[in-house]
């Protein structure tokens, strides 16, 4: 996750749309949610779609109040 976050920070900005054509367990989606990027994932396996959706929805985003 750390490497993916660094890659997204170096090559995108907040609000950008990121495409992951091999969704798998949703790691890119989780990183996008944390970094405030839009995300589109493609996956052919229903099991992986369900897993990724649950994982992304369960991701908590920290907000700075100050």
65 pLDDT higher than 90: no
Residue 39's SS3 state is strand
Q: Per the domain annotation, does 18 fall within a domain?
A: yes
pTM score: 0.89
Q: Per the domain annotation, does 2 fall within a domain?
A: no
Q: Per the domain annotation, does 1 fall within a domain?
A: no
Cβ neighbors of 50 (< 8 A, separation 6 or more) are: none
Q: Per the domain annotation, does 42 fall within a domain?
A: yes
State the pLDDT at residue 17: 99
How confident is the model over 17-53, as pLDDT tens digits? Answer: 999 999 999 999 999 999 999 999 999 999 999 999 9
Q: Which helix (H) or strand (E) holds 53?
A: helix 46-58
- State which residues form the domain around 40: 7-58
58 pLDDT higher than 80: yes
């Amino acid at each position: 996750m750390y490497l993916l976050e660094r890659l997204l920070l170096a090559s995108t900005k907040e609000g950008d749309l990121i495409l992951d054509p091999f969704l798998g367990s949703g790691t890119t989606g989780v990183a996008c949610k944390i970094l405030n990027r839009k995300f589109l994932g493609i996956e052919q396996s229903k099991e992986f779609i369900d897993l990724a959706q649950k994982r992304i929805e369960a991701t908590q985003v920290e907000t700075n109040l100050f």
